[in-house]
Amino acid sequence: MFKGLQQKWKVSGLRVLLILCTFAIGGSLTGIAGRYIMGALGINATWLWVIVYIIIVTLIWPLAVLVISIPFGQFRFFISYLKKMGRRMGLGGAIVDNRIAVAVFASGAGSNAARMIEHFRQHPNIRIALIVCNKPGAGVLDIAAKAGIPTLIIEKERFFRGDAYVPVFREAGISFIILAGFLWKVPQALTGAFSGAIINIHPALLPNYGGKGMYGRFVHEAVLAAGDPESGITIHFVDEHYDHGAVIFQARCAVMQNDTADSLAMRIHQLEHQHYPEQAEKVILNTRHHS
């Protein structure tokens, strides 16, 4: 049961224990406070007693678990848990989620998207609100489904020759876009609408090994063919040219004598996972959001 909860809430075993303690103590406190208030109200009619009691404990419970969650260090978990419950109960309008809504665009396996989801899962100011993908069946869609994040499959015609889905993103309240292995060029309709608010990661040290056709193993093969002693990652703003916008961050790693495109790719992926979520967080928090 613990394992199941660990996966469901994406927390460590110890945190499952702390969360369950919060539930248990918060629940008991609710019961005690509820009976105390009922006693003070002096209601006798059984049916009325039951109705009033249910209303009172429904109101007290969220407060009780929030208070108890503080000494257990689980306040953030319970705030987002209660918001989620509120949304499920149709209180979406009443409980406003003020966090900055971010869309992650990915075309493939989605390991970077997964790191983003994990990093921002309980973030107080930022949430991954949408996964955008151009390939039905891509691994990133399973990752999104497991995390309960809505997905949008985009079509070429509308993306490049239509409104680039800008109204859809506006409607979803998106104010920042992270590209994480998204293989289509971003059209001007989108870079214009989200100016300074789209970032990408490239698996090499730009301006080298960038541009059209330079993605995935093609990048690593080119680095190896040139005999470069080092490679790395570049996180950069996105404009309407491939791999072109201002560089935000670079990290380097050595290229080994016996490296293959696969072994180099693995090292680069590790660098990406290590730095991309943190760098994205910094940029998002430093960007003015209009949505």
Q: Looking at beta carbons, which residue is closest to ligand GRF?
A: 181
Which residues bind to ligand GRF, rule: CB under 6 A? 106, 108-113, 180-181, 201-203, 269, 272
CB closer to ligand GRF out of 157 and 262: 262
The Cα 171–Cα 186 span in angstroms is: 19
State the nearest-atom distance from the C-beta of 280 to ligand GRF, in Å: 13
State the nearest-atom distance from the C-beta of 26 to ligand GRF, in Å: 38
Rounded to 5 degrees, φ, ψ at 194 are -120, 50
Amino acid, res. 98? N
State the nearest-atom distance from the C-beta of 115 to ligand GRF, in Å: 8
Of the candidates 123, 202, 220, 275, the residue annotated as catalytic is 202
For residue 229, cis peptide bond before it (omega within 30 degrees of 0): no
The Cα 176–Cα 291 span in angstroms is: 9
Residues 6+ apart with CB under 8 A from 245: 200, 236, 237, 238, 239
State the nearest-atom distance from the C-beta of 186 to ligand GRF, in Å: 12
Three-state secondary structure call for residue 88? helix
Taking CA atoms, 5 is separated from 10, 79, 84, 115, in Å, by: 8, 18, 16, 20
CB closer to ligand GRF out of 32 and 254: 254
State the nearest-atom distance from the C-beta of 253 to ligand GRF, in Å: 13
How remote is the C-alpha of 7 from its chain's centroid? 16
For helices 75-88 and 13-41, angle between their N-to-C axes, nearest 10 degrees: 70
CB closer to ligand GRF out of 88 and 212: 212
CB closer to ligand GRF out of 187 and 232: 232
- 202 annotated active-site: yes
The Cα 33–Cα 77 span in angstroms is: 23
CB closer to ligand GRF out of 30 and 208: 208
- Residue positions annotated with a catalytic role: 202
